[in-house]
Structure 1
Amino acid sequence: MAKRKQEEAPKGSPAWMSTFSDLMNLLLCFFVLLFSMSTVDADKFQQVIASLQSSISILPAGGSSIGEGEMISAGVRQLEFMDSYYNEIANSAAENSDEQTDGKNSVQEAYEQQELSESEQMAEQIQKAIDAASLSDQVDVDFNAEYVQLNMSGAILFESGKADLTASAKPIVDKIGKILEKYSKNIIEIEGHTDNVPISSRAHYESNEVLSVYRALAVTERLREKTSLKPSHIKFAGRGDYVPVADNSTAEGRARNRRVEIKVYNSYNSDLD
C-alpha cells in the first residue's frame, strides 16, 4: 500500500499565535493604563521591571522604556496635574471659608460694639439724672452690651419679710420712674432678689422666691401707676436667692443680695414686635 503523502505545514506562524499576540498586547495595554492611573512608586516600578526581565524576558536588559515611555509619563503628568488642581481647589475653598468666618466675626464684633456703646451712653445719661435727683446713695448704675442696670437695696424699699413698699421707698421709685420715662420705647425688666436665709414659717410668703416675685411686682405696679411707661413694656421676675452678688455667709453679703434690679434694655435688645 502506498504511503499517504504528508501535507506540508502552512508557511509562517500558526494562526493561533496572532490571536495570542493580540491578547497579550491588549493585556499589556490594560495594565499600562491601570499603572498610569495609579500613584507611581519608583522603587516598586523598578522591582516590577526586573521581575519581568528575569521571568518573561519581555523587556530588554536594563530597559526603562516603559518607565520612561510617553504613555506612562503622560499618565503620571496627568495625575500630577489633577492632584495639583484639586489641591488648589481645596486650598481655595478653605481660604474662602476662613475669609467668610473672619467676615462674620468682624460683623458680629462691630454689632456687639454698637450694643455696648449705646448701653454706655444710656448709663451716663441715667447716672447724671440719678445724681440730679439726689439718688446716688440709694441707686447704683451699671451696664453691659444688653442693658443698663439700676440696683437698689431691699432695705430701703421693704421691711424684713414683706413685699409692700415702705412710705420712704415710694418717692424713690417715683423719681426713678420719671427718669425711665425717657426710655419708654425700651423694654424695662424688674427683678427681685433675696438672701439665702430660710423664710420664717410665720411669714406671709412660702419661700424666698415667692417673696422676690411679689417685691418685683410691687415696684412694677408703682411704675405703671405713677409714670407714662407702657405697661406692656414693663415685665418683672423673682429670682429668690439663686443669683447672689455677694457671700451669703456674712451679714454684709446678705444685705447686698437683698435687692431689686431694674434693667433698661438698649434698642438692640428691646424686641417689642
Structure 2
Amino acid sequence: MRRNRHSNHEHEEHIDETWLVPYSDVLTLLLALFIVLFASSQIDQKKFEQMAQAFNSAFHGNPSIFESMRTVPQPVESQPQTPDKLPSVFSAIGNERAGNFQQETAQLLEVKRKLDKYIQDNNLTGGFGTMLTDDGLLVRIKDSALFESGRADMLPTSREYANVIAKMLAELPQKVVISGHTDNIPINTAEFPTNWDLSSKRALNFMKYLLAHEPKLQPARFSAIGHGEYRPAAANTTAEGRAQNRRVEVLIVRKYSH
C-alpha cells in the first residue's frame, strides 16, 4: 500500500514537457518575422547582413540571435541633396528661344526693308504691301497686279514681281504658305464654279511659277491654299474693300515663337 502511494507520488513529480518544443519553434518563427519586418523598414546593406546572421543563428540554435536583437540600429546616412537644376535649365531654354526669335525677327525685318524699297522704287505701293506679324512676314499682292478679273493665269507683267519675290525667298530657310483670297461676290463659270476654286487656282499657279523660275527654291518648303471669301482683309461693303480682299498672300512662316 505504501509502495503504490510512493509510486504515484513520483509519477506526479515528472510533468510532461514535450509542449516546450513547438513553443520554442513558435517563438523562433515570431522572432524571425520580427527581424524581417525590422530590417525591411530601413533597407541598407548593413541591415541585410544583420538579418542574414539572425536567420542563420535562429535556424542553427545559436543564442547569439538575442545579441542581434540588442544591436542598436545605426541611423541611415542621408545622401547629400543634389541642387535642383531645373530652373536654370528652363531659364537657359527660354533665353535661347528668345535669342532665336529676336534673330529671326531681325532677319525678316531686313527682308521687309528690301521689299519695301523695291515697291517704293517701282511705284507699286497700290498693289503690294508687307507686314511683320507673330506668324511671320506677310507679303500681300492685289489680284489686279497678277491676274485678269475672274482668271487664274498670271499676267506677263506680273512675272517681274514674281521673280523678285522668288529670289528673296531663295535666301530664306523658313516655310512659305501662299494663299488665295476673293471678295464675297459669287463666281460661277465653267472653270471656276465657286470662289474656292478661283482662290485655290490662283495660289497654286503663283506657287508653281515661283518654283519653276527659281531653281534654288525647295518645293518641300512650299504649300498653296485657297480661302475664297472667308478671310477678308477689309469689309466687303464697298468697292475699295472688295478690291483689298481680292489678293494673293505670301507668308514666310516663323520658325521660332516668343
Q: Same fold (TM over 0.5)?
A: yes
- Shift >6 Å, 4+ stretches: none
Q: 2:228 aligns with which of 216, 220, 241?
A: 241
1:229 maps to which residue?
A: 214
2:132 and 2:157 map into 1 onto residues whose CA distance is 24
Change (3 A) 1:229 1:189: farther
Spell out, residue by residue over 1:137-170, the C-alpha distance to the aligned partner (whole angstroms, 9 max, x if none): 321112347753221122444343222445xxx4
Spell out, residue by residue over 1:66-94, the C-alpha distance to the aligned partner (whole angstroms, 9 max, x if none): xxx976x848x55xx6xx65xx77xx59x
Q: Does 1:181 align with 2:184?
A: no
2:192 and 2:28 map into 1 onto residues whose CA distance is 99
Q: 1:116 aligns with which of 89, 100, 105?
A: 105
2:181 maps to which residue?
A: 193
The 3-state SS of whatever aligns with 1:108 is helix
State the shift of 1:229 in Å.
Answer: 2.1
The 3-state SS of whatever aligns with 1:230 is coil
- C-alpha contact (below 8 Å) 1:181/1:229 kept by paired residues: yes
1:120 and 1:219 map into 2 onto residues whose CA distance is 24
1:125 and 1:106 map into 2 onto residues whose CA distance is 29
Change (3 A) 1:21 1:237: closer
Q: Does 1:3 align with 2:17?
A: no
Q: Normalising to structure 1: TM-score of the pair?
A: 0.58
Q: 2:242 aligns with which of 232, 245, 254?
A: 254
- Between the aligned residues of both structures, percent identity stands at 25
- C-alpha contact (below 8 Å) 1:195/1:244 kept by paired residues: no
**RMSD of the TM alignment (CA)?**
4.4
State the shift of 1:244 in Å.
Answer: 0.9
Q: Normalising to structure 2: TM-score of the pair?
A: 0.60
1:24 and 1:203 map into 2 onto residues whose CA distance is 100
1:195 and 1:171 map into 2 onto residues whose CA distance is 23
1:38 and 1:208 map into 2 onto residues whose CA distance is 75
The 3-state SS of whatever aligns with 2:3 is coil
State the shift of 1:124 in Å.
Answer: 1.7
Q: Does 1:206 align with 2:206?
A: no
- C-alpha contact (below 8 Å) 1:209/1:241 kept by paired residues: yes
Show structure 2 runs of 5+ residues with no match: 43-68
The 3-state SS of whatever aligns with 1:3 is helix
Q: Does 1:160 align with 2:133?
A: no
2:30 maps to which residue?
A: 27
2:63 maps to which residue?
A: none
Query: Which residue identity is paired with 1:115?
Result: E
The 3-state SS of whatever aligns with 1:27 is helix
Change (3 A) 1:121 1:70: farther
The 3-state SS of whatever aligns with 2:233 is coil
